[in-house]
Chains A and B, each alone.
Chain A
Amino acid sequence: AQSVTQLDSQVPVFEEAPVELRCNYSSSVSVYLFWYVQYPNQGLQLLLKYLSGSTLVESINGFEAEFNKSQTSFHLRKPSVHISDTAEYFCAVRASGSARQLTFGSGTQLTVLP
């Protein structure tokens, strides 16, 4: 079975500052990793994913995440945040090569302050 830990439930940050949202996972098998974003009153949207290949993955709106197998982490970063990035961010994991389901973390509320 897989599990996901998001270490920070809330992260306030000023506009144009850098941010890192932390995600650690536990699994006895290889995994695929995902970050989802949930804007207020909207459904979850896939932000980025790691399936294989380069351990650094990027989204179209400037976020990036790096898969670190030795530290079992998949932290999300952005060098300069905007007010519009205010949302809840969920890290998720799925065992690779199987029909296993997504397991989500408890989420991190990112609030960007003016």
Chain B
Amino acid sequence: EAGVAQSPRYKIIEKRQSVAFWCNPISGHATLYWYQQILGQGPKLLIQFQNNGVVDDSQLPKDRFSAERLKGVDSTLKIQPAKLEDSAVYLCASSYGGVQYEQYFGPGTRLTVT
């Protein structure tokens, strides 16, 4: 069974530029999560999708971050414009159902904003 795929693995941009990350969850997994992991901290949930609907985006900085999950499969997380403090690893995870099911994590995208 293929795992959660993410691309790109690394990205370096200048502040005020835009960036997008892509995630392909495990086949058949209805729930998809995006986390932000700042160096020295644990992952923090940004947004959770159930199929193509948003379940929780309470910690998503909506003035600059956006995410979509068209057709309930792949997802894209966008930052526009980026700030220095957005430098982090962005993790995508998926699970068969809601939070009671185990989450499977992708390898992450390491973003550096200069």
Spell out A's residues near B (CB within 8 Å).
Answer: 4, 9, 41-46, 90, 92, 94, 99-107
The answer to whether A94 and B40 touch across the interface, beta carbons within 8 angstroms, is no
Q: Contacting chain A: which of B14-22, B60-68, B79-87, B100-108? A: B100-108
Decide if the interface of chain B is mainly helix, strand, loop or mixed.
loop
Residues of B within 8 A of A103 (CB): 42
- CB pair A101 B56 closer than 8 Å: yes
Task: Count residues of B near A (Cβ-Cβ below 8 Å).
Answer: 22
Is B3 an interface residue, CB under 8 A from the partner?
yes
**What residues on B are CB-neighbors of A4 within 8 Å?**
42
Which chain B residues in 28-60 approach chain A with CB under 8 Å? 40-45, 48, 55-56
Most buried by A among B40, B41, B43, B108: B43
